[in-house]
Amino acid sequence: SSKRQRKSYFHFFNCYLSLNNIKVSVFTGCRTDWFDDDDPSGNGDYEVLSDLLSMHPKEICPQPIDHRHHYDATYGFACVNADQQKGNCQDYRVRFTCPPEFCQVTDQCRTKWMNSDDPSEEGDVESILQLMERFPGQVCENPVSIEAKTTSGISAQYTGNTFLSYDVQFGFACINEEQKSKQCEDYQVILTCPSDFCQGKSMCELHSLKM
């Protein structure tokens, strides 16, 4: 089951003061809202990062900070019914701690919507490298998040297509052969970049990066 959660971020600080040397160790970050996209029916309750990123592309950072080390931030959370004494897991929800720049970016650090490919031949691929070549100076090398929608304005998560890639490491990829209809939609993507990507740019350049 899919349970949508609205987005909100909470900045928090953990400081450790040494009175002898007056050393302060500071951790800064932000947390997403809670997400609950699975229930414990079937094999268990799985809140997997890759699945959550596909369903909430702008609301979760692709590389969460494993600050408390309770669970695996690179995979997500999994509770298997067969491993429980009572035979079933509780229904869990998760939230992620993200790097501070994930929350500090502004709309000025979002690129324009970009479309560098169409779904002819193998599919529609909007890779970061391809976008950098097609739109020089308008794409950051290390995006914080990526969002995709069709050229007609439908969010990627509501198209019914499945995606080979939908992350900031590679970019976006929809393969025709993996679709029930054997055809991907024509997609465009927008990237959120670290705040320093906009720093030092002229007002004209910043304006060109707005939606």
Is the residue at 121 inside a domain? yes
Task: Identify the pLDDT of residue 109.
Answer: 79
How far is residue 5's CA from residue 134's CA, in Å, rounded to a whole number?
A: 35
Q: Do residues 65 and 140 share a domain?
A: no
pTM of the model: 0.53
How far is residue 35's CA from residue 93's CA, in Å, rounded to a whole number?
A: 5
Is the residue at 30 inside a domain? yes
Range(s) of the domain holding residue 130 = 107-209
Which of 61, 77, 104 is the C-terminal boundary of a domain? 104
Low-confidence ranges of the chain (pLDDT < 50): 1-27, 67-69, 202-211
Which of 104, 124, 152 is the C-terminal boundary of a domain? 104
How far is residue 185's CA from residue 133's CA, in Å, rounded to a whole number?
A: 22
Task: Identify the pLDDT of residue 4.
Answer: 37
Is the residue at 3 inside a domain? no
Is the residue at 4 inside a domain? no
As for how many domains the chain has, the answer is 2
Q: What is the pLDDT of residues 17-56, one digit of tens each?
A: 333 443 333 445 678 888 888 888 889 999 888 888 888 8
Q: Do residues 66 and 123 share a domain?
A: no
Is the residue at 127 inside a domain? yes
Assigned token pair, 180? 């029930």
Q: Do residues 27 and 81 share a domain?
A: yes
Which of 104, 139, 161 is the C-terminal boundary of a domain? 104
Q: Do residues 16 and 75 share a domain?
A: yes
Q: Do residues 89 and 111 share a domain?
A: no
DSSP conformation letters of 143-211: -SEEEEEETTS-BGGGS----SEEETTTEEEEEGGGSTTS----EEEEEE--GGGTTT--HHHHHHH--
Q: Do residues 75 and 153 share a domain?
A: no
Number of DSSP helices (H) and strands (E) in the chain, helices first:
4, 10
Q: Do residues 42 and 113 share a domain?
A: no
Q: Do residues 120 and 204 share a domain?
A: yes
Task: Identify the pLDDT of residue 66.
Answer: 62
Type of residue found at 188: Q
Q: Do residues 117 and 144 share a domain?
A: yes
What are phi and psi for residue 199, nearest 5 degrees?
A: -65, 135
Under a CB-based contact definition with an 8 Å cutoff, are residues 113 and 190 in contact?
yes
- Three-state DSSP class for 71? coil
Is the residue at 5 inside a domain? no
Is the residue at 45 inside a domain? yes
How far is residue 102's CA from residue 110's CA, in Å, rounded to a whole number?
A: 12
Q: Which of 176, 112, 184 is nearest to 150 (CA)?
A: 184
Task: Identify the pLDDT of residue 199.
Answer: 65
Task: Identify the pLDDT of residue 123.
Answer: 95
Q: Do residues 92 and 124 share a domain?
A: no
Q: Do residues 203 and 112 share a domain?
A: yes
Type of residue found at 139: V
Contacts of 89 (CB under 8 A, 6+ apart): 40, 44, 45, 79, 80, 81
Q: Do residues 29 and 40 share a domain?
A: yes
Is the residue at 115 inside a domain? yes
